């Protein structure tokens, strides 16, 4: 099965070169446990492979034999501007890596659709007069899901897409945007993604979800990576647990590996130790 690199070299090597093409992967994390940094690293590193191959080789190394780089990298945000994401990445990773990596990343902002029926002043998220005028014709917050679906239909094929974040959609759920609408969209997304052949990453804060809600999200996707804090004595360590992953988990179980100790440094999110669990 063809693989697409996630941009975390030690993880990609462990799972055969990257995520299986056509996968929708849920990144569910506790606050600060590394899920967001994982997203940043995936986007920046795959972008870097296109914009500066020499620097990519320095940070990442060689691609796996079965790995194919995405044709495009897309970063979708519901609330943040590109500059805000860039600055946040700069707090985590080396500035040169961020600048070069994001140069090859297409950024798509859905703030207008997301905020249109909230008390947030229009001027805070719609800078152009045309945008403000167009918003007056909309009367359903489900427009945000429709806009997301349209963008993915047009851009997700053979691409890496980071969606930041599902948490924002959950926070907006009300009588106009039902929870079932979101889960049905994700199930349809998983179906379409298998044909598109890319990889879609869905970021979500697991602390804001109950077991039933998180379970529905897991059921609607091909894989779930859990980012957790693990306490040992007076220290806390970030860990990554591969809970389910179509085409990947069986390989890890054959090697008795399901949990990784992780760290965050100038090169972004990384695996610091492989934990074998028997």
Work out the burial of residue 268: count CB atoms within 10 Å of its CB; fewer than 13 is exposed, 13-18 middle, 19 or more buried. Answer: buried
| CA distances (Å), origin 204, targets 9, 28, 90, 109, 212 | 23, 5, 21, 17, 14
Concatenated DSSP letters for 86-153?
Answer: HHHHHHHS-HHHHHHHHTTEEEEE-HHHHHTTSSS-GGGT--SHHHHHHHTT---TTHHHHHHHHHHH
Find where tokens 């719609």 sit: 126
CB-facing half-sphere around the CA of 42: CA atoms within 13 A: 31
- For residue 259, give the 3-state DSSP assignment: strand
Check if the beta carbon of residue 12 is closer than 8 Å to that of residue 5: yes
- For residue 29, give the 3-state DSSP assignment: strand
The alpha-carbon radius of gyration of the chain (Å, integer) is: 18
Partners of residue 265 on adjacent β-strands:
268
Beta-strand runs (E) in 46-165: 72-77, 105-109, 159-164
Least Cα distance to 37 among 201, 214, 221 occurs for: 201
Q: Whole-prediction pTM value?
A: 0.89
CA distance 19 to 200: 10
Concatenated DSSP letters for 144-160?
Answer: HHHHHHHHHHHH-TTEE
Instruction: Respond yes or no on whether the N-terminal peptide bond of residue 165 is cis (omega within 30° of 0).
Output: yes
pLDDT in tens, the chain (278 residues): 689 999 999 999 988 899 999 999 999 999 999 999 999 999 999 999 999 999 999 999 999 888 999 999 999 999 999 999 999 999 999 999 999 999 999 999 998 888 876 667 777 777 654 444 454 444 444 588 889 999 999 999 999 999 998 888 877 666 556 777 788 888 999 999 999 999 999 999 998 888 888 998 999 999 999 999 987 666 788 999 988 888 887 767 666 667 899 999 999 999 987 765 54
Check if the beta carbon of residue 26 is closer than 8 Å to that of residue 218: yes
Query: What is the 8-class DSSP label of residue 206?
Result: G
Check if the beta carbon of residue 3 is closer than 8 Å to that of residue 67: yes
- For residue 238, give the 3-state DSSP assignment: strand
């Amino acid at each position: 099965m063809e693989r697409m690199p996630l941009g975390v070299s030690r993880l990609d090597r462990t799972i055969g070169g990257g995520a299986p093409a056509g996968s929708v992967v849920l990144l569910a994390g506790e606050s600060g446990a590394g899920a967001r940094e994982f997203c940043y690293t995936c986007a920046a590193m795959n972008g870097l492979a296109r914009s500066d191959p020499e620097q990519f080789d320095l940070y990442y190394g060689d691609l796996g034999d079965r790995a194919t780089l995405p044709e495009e990298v897309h970063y979708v945000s519901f609330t943040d501007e590109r500059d805000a994401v860039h600055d946040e990445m700069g707090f985590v990773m080396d500035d040169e890596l961020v600048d070069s990596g994001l140069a090859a990343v297409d950024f798509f902002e859905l703030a207008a659709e997301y905020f249109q029926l909230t008390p947030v002043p229009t001027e805070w998220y719609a800078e152009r007069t045309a945008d403000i005028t167009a918003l007056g014709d909309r009367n359903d917050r489900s427009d945000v899901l429709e806009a997301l679906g349209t963008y993915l239909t047009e851009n997700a094929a053979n691409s890496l897409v980071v969606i930041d974040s599902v948490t924002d959609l959950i926070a907006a759920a009300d009588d106009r945007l039902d929870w079932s609408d979101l889960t049905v969209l994700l199930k349809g997304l998983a179906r379409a993604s298998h044909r598109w052949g890319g990889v879609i990453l869905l970021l979500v804060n697991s602390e804001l979800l109950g077991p039933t809600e998180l379970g529905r999200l897991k059921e609607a996707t091909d894989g779930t990576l859990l980012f957790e804090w693990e306490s040992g004595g007076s220290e806390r360590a970030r860990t990554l647990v591969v809970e389910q992953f179509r085409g990947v988990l069986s390989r890890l179980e054959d090697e008795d590996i399901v949990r990784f100790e992780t760290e965050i440094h100038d090169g972004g999110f990384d695996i610091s130790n492989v934990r074998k669990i028997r």
